[in-house]
Amino acid sequence: MPLVFPAPILSTTSSHLLAFFFSFSYVGSLYISKNARLSFSRSPKPSSNGIPREKLANERWRDDPDVIRARLAAVTIASLICCAAVLGVLWHHLGDGQWQNFDTALNATIVRLGLLPDIHPDALYPHLVTPVLFLGPLYAQYLSATLPFQKRWSFMQSFVNKFFTWQGIRNYSWAPLTEEIVFRACVLAVYHLSGASVSRMIFLGPLSFGLAHVHHAWDTFNRYGRTASAAKRAIISSIFQLAYTTLFGFHCSYLFLRTGSIYPAITAHIFCNIMGLPEIAYELRKFPKQKKEIFSAYILGIIGFIYTLPRWTKTPGVLYWDNSKNASY
């Protein structure tokens, strides 16, 4: 049973400040170290045909292995600092941080961050909700014979070379893990401790996650040549990414609050990074004879998602979701 309080222990302002601190710590960590910072030429050649320009020898781009390694180390430290901040809040409210209360605060932090392993009988179901939504794109991959162990799937090219490069480690393991711990578990934990309602946490909490991706605009602006066209592309892509990541944050926040575990949100994040954005227009052009089947798969995926989301994520005794009923914090 997690440690609960009869009344909120944080003010709304304090929770906002802590959420900002978490976001600033995570994104800011990418720029503290010289090895993690990007560098671009001040007068690069503009890009052409809508593709990024060629990288110059003296530049450091976000996909360079040494940059990725430095950034992975930076966000790891930032994530630990954010978790320690949640621990500090709980420890402070257990008697001004006395050492005899440290173990209790540590255990409460682990529970509130959803870090306990999922061992209940239905623990698998929340992890399957997101794949249900992607039934349409999965069917298109089936038609392309690129699903695991199909004709055009290769163990080396489709698995090893994709997931075990530095880019793969960043995109499909470490970034989803650290981002969900910071922007989902830590942010929602402090909002809950301030007495925020479930709906408020679902729809306001992910804003920090969306805003944290805006800094990619600088990368886009430079990779496309620092022109007016590059600036326009950077602004449009940032607005789109802000909208998409915020919507995705709603989904992962729901998973976390509904299950009390961070792991379904992490697997959803990994799965979405692997799948990318649905490309139904491209799929319809590629398989014109299967248009009805593709449309049906997309519709079935949406219906299945709506049906399974509240049912497959229902978890008894979750502190966050029960908050609206028993007013414990």
* Structural domain boundaries, residue 214: 12-46+58-326
**254 contacts: CB under 8 Å, gap ≥ 6:** 202, 309, 313
Amino acid at 193: L
Amino acid at 138: L
Domain tally, the chain:
1
Domain membership flag for residue 52: no
How does pLDDT run across 43-52, given as a tens digit for each residue? 777 777 778 8
Domain membership flag for residue 285: yes
Quote the pLDDT of residue 1.
55
Domain membership flag for residue 6: no
How does pLDDT run across 120-135, given as a tens digit for each residue? 778 999 999 999 999 9
Domain membership flag for residue 159: yes
DSSP assignments along 127-149, one per residue: HHHHHHHTHHHHHHHHHHT-STT
Rounded Cα gap, residues 96 and 196, in angstroms:
24
Domain membership flag for residue 19: yes
Domain membership flag for residue 238: yes
* pTM: predicted TM-score of the whole model, two decimal places: 0.93
Residue 225 has pLDDT above 50, yes or no: yes
Q: How far is CA 248 from CA 119, 134, 201, 263, in A?
A: 26, 13, 14, 15
Domain membership flag for residue 18: yes
